[in-house]
Amino acid sequence: MQDLIQHLINGLSLGSIYALIALGYTMVYGVLQLINFAHSDIYMMGAFASYYVSRWFNFEAHPGIVTLCMALLASMTACALIGVAVERFAYRPLRGSPKINILITAIGVSLFLQFGAQLIFGPNPKAFPTLIEDVALIETEFIVLKSLEVTVFVITLLALGVLHFLVYKTKFGKSMRAVSHNINTASVLGINVNKVIVLTFIVGSALAGVGSVLVGLKYPKIEPLMGVMIGLKGFVAAVFGGIGNMTGAVIGAMIMGLSEEFVVAYLSSTLRDALAFGLLIGILIWKPSGLLGKNTVEKV
Amino acid sequence: MKNFKIPLFAYIGLLILGLALQFGLNAYIQILILQILMFSIAAMSLNLVNGFTGQFSLGHAGFMAVGAYTSAYLSQLLPGFLETTHVFGFFIFSVIAGLFASFFGYVVGLPSLRLKGDYLAIVTLGFGEILRVVLLNIEPLGGARGISGIVPYPEFGFLDRFWVSFAYISFWFLVCLFFLWRITRSRYGRQFMSVREDEVAALSLGLSTTKIKVSSFVIASFFAGVAGSIYAHLISIVTPTVFGFLMSVNIVVMVVLGGMGSFTGSIIAAAFVTVMPELLRSVQSVTGYDLRMIIFSLGLILIMIFKPNGLFGDKELPYFLSKLKRKKV
Amino acid sequence: MKFLVSFLLSLSLVSLTACTKNTNELVIGEFASLTGNEATFGQSTNKGIRMALDEINAAGGIKGKKVKLITYDNQGKNDEVASVVKRLITQDKVLAIIGEVASARSEVAAHIAQQYKVPMISPSSTSPKVTAVGDYIFRVCFIDPFQGKVMAKFMIEHLKLKKVAILRDVKNQYSVGLADVFSKEVTSRGGEVLTDVSYQGEDVDFKAQLTQIKSKNPEAIFIPGYYGEVALITNQARQLGIKSVFLGGDGWDSNDLVKNSKKAANGSYYSNHYSTESTDPKVQDFIQKYKGKYSEVPDAMAALGYDAAKIMTAAMERVTEMTPEQIKNEIAKTKDFPGVTGNITLNDQRDAVKSAVVVQIADDARKFIINIAP
């Protein structure tokens, strides 16, 4: 029973990271009907950005909230910039092309970022710096809750909160929802569609940037291919919850995180990755539009 | 029999070429040529799905894996069989491998080909990954170590291993090429292309688009399985990780670069994609591999933006030859 | 048709240019994991080999000819091994091959080397399957059936602990073999294996397995994996509040381990091939020279690479005719070779019969604890 609670904490922690990534996929798909394969690699770039910034300014010597925020800022900025660049130079020229062409381009961008990173940063894993002290808040015989885990939760909730505000309480959010409903009608109504798309990429990529710093804190090993598996799982979570639906993405991610934790704990670690694809195939066969249906960007 | 005149002559021509290559080139280049032929089969078969039917499969390497493991496992299970039947035994293994792979093609294709294009890509990707995990865990198939020491193609008198391998692989190469050629220029081919052009229109004409898509998928997986079985005996080692997403992407690059709809293109692109990393390796000993993938991915993006039809578009060799003839006049 | 002809022409041109051979050099091939998850394995081995060959060449080479080393990176991937080893043999026409640390990759290479009849020495692969491939395959280190017993004996007799949990890498042949031997030995010595869970190489999250282990409350946890994952495992274990002592094998030996584990690996014990604290003058001499050349303390992989290269060149010195087959025969006769990692004699299975040391991690240093003979 006691390890059950610990497993729950672990699973939710895993799930919240998947959620940050899944949201990026789902938002871009909502406005462009495009699976942004490069999303996972933008995420990876964020981790490296904050790694190098932390190294240059020697953050590890002053762990704390301030350095953490600066690292997050570095990561989010890098991700947003790369996201915008990818949209501008790889996806925009192909707007209106057959789906298969766009998909191939997306794969091309993803691989380009992965192997470009290998070339620039070197293919060996790097140790992500400790940006925040990990003290035990609850340490009973049964469960251990340390400040790092709590920080991850808090930051995720903050990010989701900001996102919710952005999408439902601002004009930009309204335009984004309009574009994902019907891009042509939205443009007829005077919405600058290109601007909305760029902003969507910025927000989605920035979220991934947050996720990558949190992952770097939890699993201090970063390497150019770190986005592949987690990106795939984030994508599956988004599809599982209903691609285009933000609430669905979060729910799907939580379900994925929890089931992964329990499968590894009670069944076998080898099923860890297969689970993601099992969920994917399952949902596609049973309810292809995902748990929360084919709704556009809505409730969080 | 008239139908088989061209392929028969082509085959005999290749056999003679094989003799020249056996004595003229060093072992390293010989292996490269065999690999080119093998990947050509994989690329041409994927072209049927991606190029002619307009569906997007990202898991072609998975079907190769099925074929490779089948052939490897059978050859280890029945070692005596290969010795008594010589090359004919390999042929039987390849056919079984192909059939097994096409069975998987059917199982994977049927539910997923009902979905939108993007979803098919993801599902085929997922299939490849699930297969990898499954193979990783089946101990009789070697688990993480895979199967090693697989029987290579044998010698035959004064004709060494290379010539026999070359003869065998080019046989399948020609079978694949001519079969796909004939089918795409037949009534069935036009059905495939109609699905690619406008699925709704095809449906309104009374065509069962799902059935068409599934059949192209099954044919493609058959040849992928054959290519896989060739891989097993050529490289002598199969592991779960070698037939992963990266290999599927490589084959997709071959199809896209060569031109979705041109088999000639697939062959040339297969040669290019196979040879390039080796050339790069001698240029840069440490970063050779990385450079290859960067060039490929950049190439993919640029081709899609500027020349989405690839090198050959949907034209084949005879088209270019006729253009040359016209120029001479 | 034109395409085909021109293509073939260019291919033959390429093959011609590739055929240049300097007959005044003896070419040895190396394949290693220079990049990837186990990068320090390959890099250290490579440094050791190069230092040995530089010494040989400075002293005049072998039979008056210089030795040339061609090294290819297999990027820590099993699949790359086949193509680089084939290239070494068919394109570069090496006389012999040295490689690798990771047993799975050495095994792949061994099949190819045996098929083409080129002798291969593995400096640090400990899985018995490697040399079992054939008579052209050798190693200069001990094997896991011995190593597994070492840590079991150490835990029970030296640390006086009985309850242990095992966390093995199920994707790694070395890890599986070592874990099995350890498990059997612990049980036969009166200890208890409380639980045996697995992870996969390149995983990053081990909380699920560690939570399971924690619930069984072991005194020690045996983690027979490679340093990349071990770093994360020890880190996460301490995060979960696990207080058990960590035990490992030679796969832990890397200067990156402590840093990547955020110091969680400190205080752990693992079995290794040599200790930097050895009083043997040969060892200290080696360490000084290595430090002078590379500005770092050599780990066991470097020392074994050094020994492997020295044994190979010694064999090459003894042949009457420089052919792979004769080199193979001479390597097999290696007896009482004074290596940095100990006295090396190759037995009938072409393995080295040597002692192991158990060291304790103290930041960048490895404290020598005990020497255990076979």
pLDDT digits (tens, 9 = 90+) for C322-354: 999 999 999 999 999 999 998 899 999 999 988
Interface test with A, best of C34, C77, C195, C205 (most A CBs within 10 A): C205
Of B294, B297, B305, nearest to A93 by CB-CB distance is: B305
**What pLDDT is recorded for position B290?**
56
Q: Answer whether B134 touches C (CB < 8 Å).
A: no
* Packing angle of the helix pair A271-286, B87-112 (nearest 10 deg): 50
At B107-158, the pLDDT tens digits run 888 877 777 667 788 888 888 888 888 888 787 887 777 787 787 887 766 6
The answer on pLDDT for B85 being more than 50 is yes
CA distance A174 to A183: 13
For residue A137, what pLDDT band results from cuts at 50, 70 and 90?
confident
Distance CA C157, CA C362 (A): 22
Residues A70-105 have pLDDT tens digits of: 999 999 999 999 999 999 999 999 888 877 788 889
Say yes or no: B286 contacts chain C, CB-CB below 8 A.
yes
Q: How confident is the model at residue B275 (pLDDT cuts 50, 70, 90)?
A: confident
Band of pLDDT at residue B241, cut at 50, 70 and 90: confident
Q: Which chains touch A (3 or more CB pairs under 8 A)?
A: B, C
C215 chain-A contacts, CB cut-off 8 A: 2-3
- Report the pLDDT value the prediction gives residue A46, as an integer from 0 to 100: 94
Structure confidence at residue B126 (pLDDT): 83
The more confident residue out of B157 and B18 is B18
Chains that touch B (3 or more CB pairs under 8 A): A, C
Average pLDDT rounded to a whole number, residues B203-214: 88
Check whether B27 has a pLDDT greater than 90. no
**pLDDT of amino acid C109:** 92
Residues of chain A contacting residue B117, judged by C-beta atoms under 8 Å apart: 99-100, 103
A145-193, pLDDT tens digit by residue? Answer: 778 888 888 888 898 889 889 888 898 888 888 888 888 888 888 888 8
What confidence score (pLDDT) does residue A123 get?
77
Q: Which of C3, C15, C115 has its CB closest to that of B25?
A: C15
- A279-291 burial, b if ≥16 CB within 10 A, otherwise e? bbbebbeeebbbb
- Give the one of A98, A114, A273 whose C-beta lies nearest to B129's C-beta: A273
pLDDT of amino acid C3 = 45
**pTM confidence score:** 0.84
Instruction: Report the residue from C7, C71, C90 with minimal CB separation from B26.
Output: C90
Query: In Å, how far is A40's CA from the nearest CA of chain C?
Result: 16
Query: Which residues on chain C are in Cβ contact (under 8 Å) with A135?
Result: none
Give residue B328's pLDDT band: very low, low, confident or very high (50, 70, 90).
low
Q: pLDDT for B163-195, tens place per residue?
A: 888 888 999 999 999 999 999 889 888 999 988
Q: Which two tokens stand for residue A45?
A: 């770039």
Q: How far is C131 from chain A (nearest CA, A)?
A: 28
pLDDT category at B1 given cuts 50, 70, 90 is low
Kindly tell me if the per-residue pLDDT of B210 is higher than 90: no
List, for chain C, all residue ranges whose pLDDT scores fall below the cut of 50: 1-9, 11-20
What integer is the mean pLDDT of A37-62?
Answer: 90
Closest-CA distance, A182 to chain B, in angstroms, reads: 18
Chain A interface, best mutation among B47, B107, B124, B133, by max A CB count within 10 A:
B133
Separation CA C112–CA C90 (nearest Å): 11
Residue A299 — very low, low, confident or very high, per pLDDT cuts 50/70/90?
very low
Model confidence pLDDT, tens digit, residues B245-274: 889 988 998 998 888 889 999 999 999 888
3-state secondary structure chain C: CHHHHHHHHHHHHHHHHCCCCCCCEEEEEEEECCCCCCHHHHHHHHHHHHHHHHHHHHCCCECCEEEEEEEEECCCCHHHHHHHHHHHHHHCCCCEEECCCCHHHHHHHHHHHHHHCCCEEECCCCCCCCHHHCCCEEECCCCHHHHHHHHHHHHHHHCCCCEEEEEEECCCHHHHHHHHHHHHHHHHCCCEEEEEEEECCCCCCCHHHHHHHHHHCCCEEECCCCHHHHHHHHHHHHHCCCCCEEEECHHHCCCCHHHHCCCCCCCCEEEECCCCCCCCHHHHHHHHHHHHHHCCCCCHHHHHHHHHHHHHHHHHHHCCCCCHHHHHHHHHCCCCEEECCEEECECCCCCECCCEEEEEEECCEEEEEEEECC
The answer to whether residue B56 scores a pLDDT higher than 50 is yes
Average pLDDT over residues B71-92: 84
Q: Which residues of C touch B (CB under 8 A)?
A: 1, 3, 7, 11-12, 14-15, 18-19, 34-35, 71-73, 75, 77-80, 82, 86-87, 90-91, 104, 107-108, 111-112, 115, 133, 170-173, 200
pLDDT > 80? residue A270:
no
| Alpha-carbon gap, residue B144 to C107, rounded angstroms | 12
Give me the pLDDT at residue C183, please: 95
Instruction: Give the highest mean pLDDT range of A30-34, A140-144, B126-130, C177-181.
Output: C177-181
pLDDT tens digit string along A113-135? 998 898 888 878 888 888 877 77
Residue C203 to residue A272, Cβ atoms within 8 A: yes
Cβ separation A272–C260 shorter than 8 A:
no
- Cβ distance of A119 and B294 shorter than 8 Å: yes
Confidence at A141, pLDDT banded by 50, 70, 90: low
Lookup result for tokens 């990010």? A159
Q: How confident is the model at residue C2, as a pLDDT?
A: 43
For tokens 């094998």, name the residue: C249
Position C290 scores a pLDDT of 95
